């Protein structure tokens, strides 16, 4: 295995950990001496620079997925951006010193890693990582993987293609902001509509939405116009199925799903990030950070509290990791 000088990789590191299920404000604790994970042959060790939080993090902590979860204790954090400091013997894409980013968990809810990104060091499978776009900061890169990959997979499952229209429910959220951009700039949608609260409508337009719908004042399902694709990022498939054209597709990431809507869980792939790299480097697709970001590493519990309040616009990021 290639590695940085051994003295530069400690045996223990600082991390946020929970040892029982519950609300993050109750169970998440700072631990200054957690063992640095050992890497497998197809993994790299990353010195974490930034991490972002996702709803799956606090839902996992609440025990929603405990039947398929990995054993406690757990360091949360799916999204990571950092620098490779050690590579396994079978790794071919990365070398020590590479700046990388990715969603650590290929399968989000089945045996996710116990060593997440809210630590100084984390281990990651080569296949979930990509090289960080050079024009993006670590903070920006950390905000992307789970959200942008989820947006991409849903649009593929819905078979969105050039000339089709799409309605995005929850357009100002972490996933929604990327659905709008990918639909417009990658998939070539003829019309992108999206819902948000009043003060977030301008953001939707900035991201590429042709129609910004204020859900506090309008019922999208009652609009005379119907859409080829409805992408539900908030859990309203009972209404979403009323807004789709006959023969169209509804996809959702929040269950339960009202038929014919399709509920899916992301499969994390570094290859998707590599595919989207030209759009990120050209600026056609941009990271969207919540104005409160980044949170310092010492304020992880506060960052989770804010995310759990459902007020976040775009992504909540933690930086710098010590």
CATH assignment at residue 186 = 3.40.50.720
Residue whose structure tokens are 């903070």: 139
Closest CA to 171 of 146, 141, 143, 204: 204
Cα gap 50→143, rounded to integer Å: 9
List alpha helices for the chain, DSSP H: 24-27, 55-61, 138-142, 145-157, 176-185, 201-207, 237-240, 270-282, 300-308
pLDDT range class, residue 277, cuts 50, 70, 90: very high
Domain-embedded: residue 139: no
pLDDT range class, residue 3, cuts 50, 70, 90: low
Kindly tell me if the per-residue pLDDT of 10 is higher than 60.
yes
Mean pLDDT score, 140-157:
98
Mean pLDDT score, 263-292:
98
- Adjacent-strand bridge partners of 230: 167, 250
Kindly tell me if the per-residue pLDDT of 4 is higher than 60.
no
In percent, how much of the chain has pLDDT > 90? 97
CA dist 295 to 32, 202, 227, 305, 316, Å? 18, 25, 38, 12, 8
103 in the same domain as 173 = no
Kindly tell me if the per-residue pLDDT of 69 is higher than 70.
yes
Mean pLDDT score, 197-201:
97
pLDDT range class, residue 1, cuts 50, 70, 90: low
Domain-embedded: residue 98: yes
Specify the pTM: 0.97
**How confident is the prediction for the chain on average, in pLDDT?**
97
302 in the same domain as 244 = no
159 in the same domain as 251 = yes
Chain centre to alpha carbon of residue 51: 10
104 in the same domain as 73 = yes
122 in the same domain as 18 = yes
**How many domains does the chain divide into?**
2
Domain-embedded: residue 274: no
pLDDT range class, residue 5, cuts 50, 70, 90: low
121 in the same domain as 17 = yes
248 in the same domain as 202 = yes
176 in the same domain as 75 = no
Instruction: Tell me what pLDDT residue 150 has.
Output: 98
Residue whose structure tokens are 């295995």: 1
Cα gap 167→10, rounded to integer Å: 49
Domain-embedded: residue 273: no
Peptide bond into 260 cis (omega under 30): yes
pLDDT range class, residue 20, cuts 50, 70, 90: very high
Tokens representing residue 25 in the block:
């404000």
Mean pLDDT score, 48-64:
98
Residue that is last in its domain, among 220, 247, 263: 263
162 in the same domain as 203 = yes
Domain-embedded: residue 41: yes
Tokens representing residue 114 in the block:
């116990």
Instruction: Tell me what pLDDT residue 130 has.
Output: 98
242 in the same domain as 308 = no
The answer to whether residues 249 and 262 touch, using CB atoms and an 8 Å cutoff, is: yes
Question: What is the span of the domain harbouring residue 18?
Answer: 12-132+289-318
Domain-embedded: residue 222: yes
126 in the same domain as 51 = yes
Domain-embedded: residue 1: no
Tokens representing residue 55 in the block:
């709803």
Kindly tell me if the per-residue pLDDT of 299 is higher than 60.
yes
306 in the same domain as 222 = no
- Adjacent-strand bridge partners of 166: 192, 229
Cα gap 139→196, rounded to integer Å: 25
CB atoms within 10 A of CB 111: 12
- For residue 299, the domain's CATH number is 3.90.180.10
Instruction: Tell me what pLDDT residue 163 has.
Output: 97
Kindly tell me if the per-residue pLDDT of 146 is higher than 80.
yes
Instruction: Tell me what pLDDT residue 2 has.
Output: 56
Domain-embedded: residue 91: yes
């Amino acid at each position: 295995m290639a590695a940085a000088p051994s003295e530069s990789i400690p045996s223990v590191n600082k991390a946020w950990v929970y040892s029982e299920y519950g609300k993050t404000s109750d169970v998440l604790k700072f631990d200054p001496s957690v063992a640095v994970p050992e890497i497998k042959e197809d993994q790299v060790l990353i010195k974490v620079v930034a991490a972002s939080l996702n709803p799956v993090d606090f839902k996992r902590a609440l025990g929603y997925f405990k039947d398929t979860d990995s054993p406690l204790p757990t360091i949360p954090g799916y999204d990571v951006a950092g620098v490779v400091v050690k590579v396994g013997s079978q790794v071919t894409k990365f070398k020590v010193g590479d700046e990388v980013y990715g969603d650590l968990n290929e399968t989000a809810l089945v045996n996710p890693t116990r060593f997440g990104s809210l630590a100084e060091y984390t281990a990651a499978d080569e296949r979930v990582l990509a090289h960080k776009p050079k024009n993006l900061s670590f903070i920006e890169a950390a905000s992307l993987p789970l959200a942008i990959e989820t947006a991409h997979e849903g649009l593929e499952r819905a078979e969105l293609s050039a000339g089709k229209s799409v309605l995005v429910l929850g357009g100002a959220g972490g996933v929604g902001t990327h659905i709008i951009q990918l639909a417009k700039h990658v998939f070539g949608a003829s019309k992108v509509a999206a819902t948000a609260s009043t003060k977030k409508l301008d953001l939707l337009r900035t991201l590429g939405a042709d129609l910004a719908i204020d859900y506090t004042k309008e019922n999208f399902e009652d609009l005379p116009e119907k859409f080829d694709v409805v992408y539900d990022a908030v859990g309203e498939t009972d209404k979403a199925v009323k807004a789709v054209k006959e023969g169209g597709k509804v996809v959702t990431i929040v269950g339960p799903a009202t038929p014919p809507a399709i509920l899916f869980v992301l499969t994390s792939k570094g290859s998707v990030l590599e595919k989207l790299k030209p759009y990120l480097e050209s600026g056609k697709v941009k990271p969207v950070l919540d104005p409160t970001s980044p949170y310092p590493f010492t304020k992880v519990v506060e960052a989770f509290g804010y995310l759990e309040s459902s007020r976040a616009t775009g992504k909540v990021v933690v930086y710098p990791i010590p």
